[in-house]
Structure 1
Amino acid sequence: MTSRIALLFVHKSVFLLLLLLLIIQIVACLSREEDTISAGVVIKDPQTIVSQNRIYKLGFFTPSNTTNRYLGIFFAFSQETLIWIANRDKPLTDSSGAVAISRDGNLVLLDGTNQTVWSTNLTTSPVNSTVRILDTGNLVLQEEASGDTLWESFSQPLDVQVQGMRLTQNVNTGKQVRLTAWRNATDPAIGSFAMGLDVMSGTLQLYIWDEGRPHWRSGPWNSLSFLGIKKLFYAYLDGFNQVTNDSAGNFFFSPPQQNDMHIISSVNYSGSLSRKAWNGMEWDVVMACPENECDVYGTCGPFGSCNALESPICSCLRGFEPANEEEWGRGNWTNGCRRKNQLQCGGDGFARLKNMKVPDFAKPLPSRVQDECQAICRRNCSCIAYAYDNNIGCMFWSNTLIDTQDFGSVGVNLYIRLSASEFESNKRRNLYIIIGVAVGFVCISIMMFIAWWLIVKRKGNKAQDTRNFEAGQMFTADSTAIVLKNESKVNIGDLPKFTFEMLANATNQFHEDNLLGRGGFGPVYKGVLSNEKEIAVKRLSAESGQGMQEFMNEVIVISKLQHKNLVKLLGGCVEKEEKILIYEYMPNKSLDACLFGTTNPTKKLLDWNMRSSIIEGIGRGILYLHRDSRLRIIHRDLKPSNVLLDQDWNPKISDFGMARIFGGNEDHGRTARVVGTYGYMAPEYGMEGRFSEKSDVYSFGVLILEIIKGKKNTHYFNEELSLSLIGYAWKMWNEGNGLSFVEESIASRETEEEMDRCIQIGLLCVQEYPKDRPSIEIVLPMLSRDIVDLPVPKQPVFAENGSTPGPNGSTQQNVYSNNELTLSVLDGR
């Protein structure tokens, strides 16, 4: 009996040992420790080879939301970070792929039928070749005997540049080695955007091209940094280096001194360049370009200058004026500016513009003395501007100045050539200013003396009431000088003033055929002025739920704002009982009118690209209100009917009657008079009257979900699941089925990842507590993918019957509006 037990124990031990050896063999087959593929060795999916210090791997992978297989190189510690793909345009459809060295010495990728999917395509056949993955991430095909490199992956980069990888341009042929972005988030095929060097225009610069057109540029390289990247100005520590030879100009990131530090640069499918550093756990973004709208190539057109801190962001260079005043006023700056006074060559002068990103197409000329630049430029009548950098020397421009930007505190001084008359007019202007100041000082002194004399004479009596100097004010509207002599006591400030008669004629006596919509404020009409300019006329009605407070609030707020995503207030009219505001006309009406309703023909035009563009545009408008405008403004009534669409379908936020201005360090407020529209109110505002920037973020989140679904939050109810719009969005996203929430007409597997991400951002915005919601300055990078990883949203507060909490926790019925233009609904409380 004892011998039987012993024998059984031996058999069991042998079995376990064999099983262990089998497991070890399987693991060894799946992950080869070698860094080399030699003749006769086949690497089959999912096997890998690893670089000597286990930094990079070569193996097979599948992008998210697809079943396609690719052969690529990725970081061993961050396998989702791809730096090279062999078959980016020819994916494998299954896991039967294999990589080996063919009989002719090429590295080849084979499918399950042994057909060649990809090859290194050497023109000569080496006797013996091997493939090795290096610790730099470079995959090299070498001749075994001599060690000569026959082919390398660094010569065919993907969308990522690692240390030691060179971007080159042959100065004789113009041929480039450059990064090419993915087609989209799940397809690594060559997309629209590419990044690389250009030395052919005169100075060495980095460019991002969109289908061959410049999208962004770095500015000239001065051997230390790029003059057009504000964050890198004078930055010598980022590891940039340049190598030149007789046949090519090479530029690359040299390896850092620390072996454990990894830095990559990549261009994504939306045209954004990001620089990232590995912190041991994840990639930290240390630089992103374009950083703002001014970084986009040629935003302000020829002879225009961009300043992201100004509003509007575009202005003409000194001595220039808009080429098309009407387009410029609408925020369309592509035609740029034209010279006011033509150059005469001989008597021209130079005006200095401080701290600029220098224009494109600079022609360098080495010089140690800055004064030489002006002398050289003055002698050449075709020279229209010059600049000087210590490491480059003189830079000259002719023909045009494009992609110029005001950097504020850093940058290069740019000297532009102007007609002598420009400087003469400045001298006259200075003289007029001196005379004006002197006369003003004398007048003020006389007035102060008279005031003192009156005070003494009347012995403390009260001064007379101040006179109303507004009557008889001269202004210009519709190219006609008009005098208002019987204006109401309501003061609409510096806005251009229109007469009631002018607006009645423009709207055909406020005829019903010209009616655009009705809302809480009153009716809105389309009007046409005598100069054929179309306008929208917003007339306060006697029955309006809104009153003088909202009217004046809108005047005060919107007259001080100017942004491409905010509606433009053109003027006002206050005569007797009439109180009217005049806006730019929006031919595509409101988002509400275009988005909702199955019979609306314009709804078919709103594909996913347009909807995502509208979402980003609304976000940019909110960011301007919260952060970038001179005032700090909470809108408090964001909804689809308050978003207008211009002829190019750009969104413009309107209706500021409910807006509140914050000053100083204020970041929240409270009111007993809750105004706005249920369905878009944040819980803390609707129930307690507390509002902040996060209240607008909540409304924006509702807007995002409505735009994706194509349904109103206040009108939607899922009968099957007894869920509101927000509740349905949460359920579908939380179950990994976000595409089911998307409106059927735009739902697509190709854009599923983008839509799912957008739903997640909307849900982050509608979380119950303000502290959990991201600020709008965080939401925008989320939308543009500058922030890649998103937090998981908490389940939002929503009522199963689709109603919305009202003040004091009571449940209010949904308020429906048939507005065709953005008019606030003031709900009775």
Structure 2
Amino acid sequence: MEAYGHNRKDYNRVISIIYTLLILLQIAKALLVFAVLGRCVFAPLTIYAFLSYKLYQMMSSVDNVEKFLRNQQTLVPTRYSYTDIITMTNNFKEKLGQGGFGYVFKGRLPWDRLVAIKMLTNSKYNAGEDFINEVSTIGMVHHINVVKLIGFCSDGMQRALIYEYMPNGSLDKFIFSSNNGPNHKFSLDKLIDIALGVARGLDYLHKGCDMQILHFDIKPHNILLDHNFNPKLSDFGLAKLYPKNNSLVSISVARGTIGYIAPELISRSFGVISHKCDVYSFGMLLLEMTGGRRNSDPRAENTSQVYYPSWIYDKLIEDAIEHNVVEMDTSIVIDEREKKLCMIGLWCIQIRPSDRPSMSKVIEMLEGDVRSLQMPPKPFFSEPTQIPSKVSYLNTYDGELTTISEDVDELN
């Protein structure tokens, strides 16, 4: 009986071991199944979920653009399909240029009119905002100094803008010509004409439309020239529309190009954001047109000429001193027209927005005689310079110019 009980215990122990092994085997099988599922099912499901999310984002972008376009029932520019674009460009045969947005191709409409087609391929056109900006702003503008938007394409994720063709390209290739030297292509009179055209275009944007349009990216590359070298403002991807009675503009991030961007767009401590941001950019453009070089040029032979606005300001002061001191020999000869452009440019780049003229005042200055202009205050970038004991200059307040006179100590 005792032997039977001992055998029974051994039997139960063996059964327990077998059950344990069977359970472990089932667990191993389950783990193996989960591993296979994780590789063959869960991983594809994760990838599918990720791709679905990205597709949702892209479709939301398309939906935003489509919603905008449907609301523009009176939109003048014509809408074209991507197939039309391929036909117009002869399968993108002739590239005119490229930038951060994508590429520009030469095209031809069915009635033989030449056009420039800007293909928007860069991912920075998130949710179609820059595309909408350009269509909504330039689509409603009709001015001789603003490039005309003829049509657009929004076909799925393919987007393009179709402009009138500007045979002479952008202004930068003429004023920054290293082969021909500064201003070889244009006389000073022609430069003044071009400056006037740009100023009139900007003044129209600021005051001539139903809504105030701020461009935020005025620079030589964005000034196009037609067959008669008449200037036209282009590239409205950063533009913003505001009611005309808005004196303050609210934007979340700085907009523009380094070298042309107004100080208040970088730090609000310099002043409020307004149409004076475009005035500042215009001033930097005007100085580059006059100098025939970029305002900042580290390769300049003379270190004092590295920053052109500072250098030309000092030269204008020296010129003023020499004209006031008869005994001195005039070693600096600055053409009166060049002096006018430089002085206007220096007025436009004053650090405080309230000290800059409006574009309508700039037009008046450009059309006037240089003798009616007065030397602007010392811009913030200049080093202390000896100037005559009394200097009359213009100060702007609320867009109007007034004449005041201060001592040298007060100016410095």
Structures share a fold, TM > 0.5? yes
CA distance in 1, matches of 2:139, 2:360: 24
Residue 39 of structure 2 is matched in structure 1 by none
Alignment of 1:756 onto 2:339: yes
Residue 354 of structure 2 is matched in structure 1 by 771
2:224 is paired with a residue whose SS is strand
Change (3 A) 1:781 1:717: farther
CA distance in 1, matches of 2:122, 2:344: 41
- Aligned equivalent of 1:508, options 73, 90, 96: 90
State the shift of 1:577 in Å: 0.7
Residue 633 of structure 1 is matched in structure 2 by 213
Deviations 1:223-247 (A, max 9, x none): xxxxxxxxxxxxxxxxxxxxxxxxx
Alignment of 1:491 onto 2:69: yes
CA distance in 2, matches of 1:592, 1:668: 31
Deviations 1:550-577 (A, max 9, x none): 1101111111111000000001111011
Alignment of 1:618 onto 2:198: yes
CA distance in 2, matches of 1:723, 1:542: 33
1:517 is paired with a residue whose SS is strand
CA contact (8 A) 1:634 1:660 kept: yes
CA contact (8 A) 1:592 1:640 kept: yes
CA contact (8 A) 2:147 2:233 kept: yes
Structure 2: gaps of 5 or more residues: 1-64, 322-331, 384-412
Deviations 1:67-120 (A, max 9, x none): xxxxxxxxxxxxxxxxxxxxxxxxxxxxxxxxxxxxxxxxxxxxxxxxxxxxxx
2:203 is paired with a residue whose SS is helix
Residue 283 of structure 1 is matched in structure 2 by none
1:652 is paired with a residue whose SS is strand
Structure 1: gaps of 5 or more residues: 1-486, 739-747, 801-829
Residue 105 of structure 2 is matched in structure 1 by 525
Change (3 A) 1:715 1:722: closer
Select the structure that is richer in strand.
1
CA distance in 2, matches of 1:722, 1:778: 29
Deviations 1:644-692 (A, max 9, x none): 0000000000111111112152022132311210100111112239421
Which is worse superposed, 768-777 or 786-795? Answer: 786-795
CA distance in 2, matches of 1:623, 1:567: 15
CA distance in 1, matches of 2:305, 2:295: 14
Calculate the TM-score normalised by the size of structure 2.
0.68
- Aligned equivalent of 1:784, options 367, 380, 390: 367
CA contact (8 A) 2:215 2:240 kept: yes
- Aligned equivalent of 2:132, options 539, 547, 552: 552
Deviations 1:555-605 (A, max 9, x none): 111111110000000011110111111000000000012221223699633
Aligned partner of 2:134: which letter? E
CA distance in 2, matches of 1:547, 1:594: 36
Residue 598 of structure 1 is matched in structure 2 by 178
CA distance in 2, matches of 1:506, 1:600: 35
Deviations 1:251-272 (A, max 9, x none): xxxxxxxxxxxxxxxxxxxxxx
Change (3 A) 1:707 1:789: same
Alignment of 1:713 onto 2:295: yes
State the shift of 1:730 in Å: 1.2
CA contact (8 A) 2:175 2:292 kept: yes
Residue 654 of structure 1 is matched in structure 2 by 234
State the shift of 1:709 in Å: 0.6
Select the structure that is richer in helix.
2
CA contact (8 A) 1:526 1:536 kept: yes
- Aligned equivalent of 1:565, options 123, 138, 145: 145
Change (3 A) 1:602 1:713: closer
CA distance in 1, matches of 2:234, 2:170: 10
Residue 730 of structure 1 is matched in structure 2 by 313
Q: How many residues align?
A: 302
Alignment of 1:669 onto 2:252: no
* Aligned-residue RMSD, C-alpha: 2.7
CA distance in 2, matches of 1:799, 1:583: 41
2:372 is paired with a residue whose SS is coil
CA contact (8 A) 1:764 1:774 kept: yes
CA distance in 1, matches of 2:220, 2:345: 15
Aligned partner of 2:85: which letter? L
CA distance in 2, matches of 1:576, 1:590: 30
CA distance in 1, matches of 2:81, 2:277: 38
CA distance in 2, matches of 1:757, 1:651: 20
Change (3 A) 1:716 1:707: farther
Alignment of 1:794 onto 2:377: yes
Which is worse superposed, 598-607 or 537-546? Answer: 598-607
Change (3 A) 1:619 1:546: farther
1:340-351 equivalences under 5 Å are none
CA contact (8 A) 2:347 2:357 kept: yes
- Aligned equivalent of 1:585, options 155, 165, 180: 165
CA distance in 2, matches of 1:538, 1:710: 28
CA distance in 1, matches of 2:358, 2:235: 22
Alignment of 1:697 onto 2:279: yes
Calculate the TM-score normalised by the size of structure 1.
0.35
CA contact (8 A) 1:536 1:584 kept: yes
Identity %: 36
State the shift of 1:794 in Å: 1.5
CA distance in 2, matches of 1:791, 1:597: 31
Residue 405 of structure 2 is matched in structure 1 by none
CA distance in 2, matches of 1:547, 1:620: 32
- Aligned equivalent of 2:156, options 531, 552, 576: 576
2:294 is paired with a residue whose SS is coil
1:755 is paired with a residue whose SS is helix
CA distance in 2, matches of 1:733, 1:567: 35
1:142-541 equivalences under 5 Å are 488-489=66-67, 491=69, 493=72, 494=75, 495-511=77-93, 514-541=94-121
CA distance in 2, matches of 1:708, 1:602: 9
1:692 is paired with a residue whose SS is coil
